[in-house]
Structures are given as C-alpha cells and as structure tokens.
Amino acid sequence: MGIIKEVRGFKPKIGDNCFIADTAAIIGDTTIGDNCSIWYSTVIRGDVNTITIGNNVNIQDGAVIHTLYQRSTTTIGDNVSIGHNAVVHGATIENNCLIGMNATVLDGAVIHSGTIIAAGALVLSKQICEPNSIYGGVPAVKIKEVSPEQNKDIVERISKDYIMYASWYKE
C-alpha cells in the first residue's frame, strides 16, 4: 500500500477492491471509488481542495491529480483511464473517458462522457470537450467523433484491462 496521508484534518477515503501501488501517494481530501487502481509514482494530492474519483478508474504510473486552493476541485467519473504521466488539475472528467499518456487537463476544463484526450494533448483552462469525441494537440482541438464501437474497443477495454492488471498484484 502506498502513502496514504491525512492533511488539514482530511484523510483519504478509498473504496473496496482497490490496488494502490507501493510508491503511489494519496493525500488529504480525496475520495476514491471501488475497483480502482492507482499505479506506481502516481500522486493524488487533495491537500488544497477536494478530489473525487469514481468507480473502475485507473490512474497510471507517474500521473498527477491536483487542484487549486479555494478555486477548483477535481472530479473524475466512472470507468476512466488516466494515462502514464498525465496531469489532471482542477478539472472535471465525466464517465467513460480516456486521458492519454502525458496529456494535461487544466483547471475548469470539462471532459464530457465518452471522450478521448490524445497522448500529449493540452486541454486549456475552462475548455469544454464535447461528448464522444477525440481531442488532440497543443492546445487540444476536436479531431473527430468517437463511435460506440471505438468507445467499447478503446475506453471500455482499457478500463477492464486495468481491473485485471490490478488483480495480479493481489495474489
């Protein structure tokens, strides 16, 4: 189990059947749902404001989840994958989304359900990303729609794969 640290009277709440890697840090006003996996060198820092993470979420190696003091919170819905070294800072990510490796999502941004943010993309502060779409680039722009088949093949598959990967560490 990684570092689970109470800060300012806020102790992280972690749901059932979660995998927390040994080098992950979960701090402060953070709530994590059921069947989540928080991977190596990930930092979820709810020291300055609230971070809420849904069920079946995987936050991959080296990702950082944070907020702004008294100005933004971070909310991550169900069945979301946050890729390796991604940063989510004070944003809302709805259900069934994928945030690609090394992507950055800034304060006040909203990633609507079914959306994929490509690897390396920069979603600007207060940017609204349409549902069932792919965004990429710096700054991120809409590239195309995501079909239900693509969503199932990419977003849903990765979420399920990470539940399986996490189970390997519980044996």
Dig out the tokens for 161 from the structure.
């794969």
Q: Which residue shows structure tokens 């990702």?
A: 63
**CA 67 – CA 62 distance, rounded (Å):** 17
**CA 2 – CA 42 distance, rounded (Å):** 10
* Domains defined along the chain, listed by start: 3-168 (2.160.10.10)
The per-residue DSSP string of 39-83 comes to -TT-EEEEEEEEEEE-SS-EE-TT-EEE-BTTTB-EEE-SS-EE-
Q: Which residues contact 106 (CB under 8 A, 6 or more apart)?
A: 89, 90, 91, 122, 123, 124, 125, 127
Q: What is the pLDDT of residue 152?
A: 87
Q: What is the pLDDT of residue 30?
A: 98
Q: What is the pLDDT of residue 171?
A: 62
Q: Which pLDDT tens digits describe the chain residue by residue (171 residues)?
A: 799 999 999 999 999 999 999 999 999 999 999 999 999 999 999 999 999 999 999 999 999 999 999 899 999 999 999 999 999 999 999 999 999 999 999 999 999 999 999 999 999 999 999 999 999 999 999 999 999 999 889 999 999 999 999 999 986
Q: What is the pLDDT of residue 55?
A: 97
**Regarding beta strands 141-145 and 133-136, do their DSSP bridges make them parallel or antiparallel, or are they unpaired?**
antiparallel
Q: Which residues pair with 88 in a beta bridge?
A: 65, 105
**CA 17 – CA 112 distance, rounded (Å):** 26
